[in-house]
Amino acid sequence: MRTETRDLNREENEADSKRRWVDYSSVGLMFPVSIAVGFALGYGLDRWLDTEPIFMVVLSLYGVAAGFVNLFKVTRKK
């Protein structure tokens, strides 16, 4: 009975560890993706509106902020 409980606890801990690893790796992907999307949208708007670096910089910063918000959400989740 005790060994079954220990085995069950170990399996739950391993599953939880894998779940956290997936969450943290998704943050590692979301950071550069959100920055790249903001940069691309800003670049496109700047070319379309002929406003050189304004939208590119602003939307890139929004991408950085989105990456930090995602990081905060993942680290707050238990």
Rounded to two decimals, the pTM is: 0.72
Give yes or no for residue 28 having a pLDDT over 90. no
pLDDT in tens, 29-58: 888 999 999 999 999 999 999 998 999 999
Residues whose CB is less than 8 angstroms from the CB of residue 66 and which lie 6 or more positions away in sequence, other chains included: 30, 34, 38
What CA–CA distance (Å, rounded) separates 12 from 78? Answer: 14
Read off the DSSP letter of residue 52: T
Mean pLDDT value across the chain: 85
What CA–CA distance (Å, rounded) separates 57 from 32? Answer: 15
Give yes or no for residue 1 having a pLDDT over 60. no
Q: Among 11-15, 34-38, 74-78, name the most confident range.
A: 34-38
Burial of residue 66 (number of CB atoms within 10 Å: 0-12, 13-18, 19+)? middle
